[in-house]
Copies of this chain bind each other. A is one copy, B any other.
Amino acid sequence: MAGWQAKLDQKETLMSITRIDPEHRMSEAIIHNETVYYTSVPENLDDDAEAQTANALAVIDNILTRVGSDKSRILDATIFLVNLEDFPAMNRAWDAWVSPGNAPVRCTVQANLMNPKYKVEIKIIAAM
């Protein structure tokens, strides 16, 4: 097989949709066209905003490792924060976690979330 043929075949494989842990209501993560879609919620629901953010970010690390990417390849992050006054706490966890020199575009807005114990929810788009 010619080299260009192998590359095109690889490209077509990348165009397929890969679902990580698909459940009825939603998939945990999805990969398409070298791009990973994922939304992270914290698992430590009784903790404060800094700890919940650190946890949600660690969950992002886990899922990106599973798919062969990592936090240095995150393109875009949307952070939904329940309490405006938690912005500094969220930022402390973020700044301690972010890959230096490789930070994504980031947008943070206030929003109430579906679990009353969530203080933060983080939606990302990453590159494979």
Query: Which residues of A pack against B, CB within 8 Å?
Result: 2, 4-5, 7-8, 11, 15, 17, 19, 22-30, 32-35, 37-39, 73, 75-78, 80-81, 84, 87, 91, 94-95, 98, 100-114, 121, 123, 125, 127
Contacts and interface: CB of A to CB of B under 8 A. Distances in A.
B105 A27 contact: yes
B103 A37 contact: no
A23 B107 contact: no
B30 A104 contact: yes
In the complex, the count of this chain's copies comes to: 3
A16 to B, nearest CB: 9
Contact of A113 (B8, B30, B101, B109): B109
A94 B27 contact: no
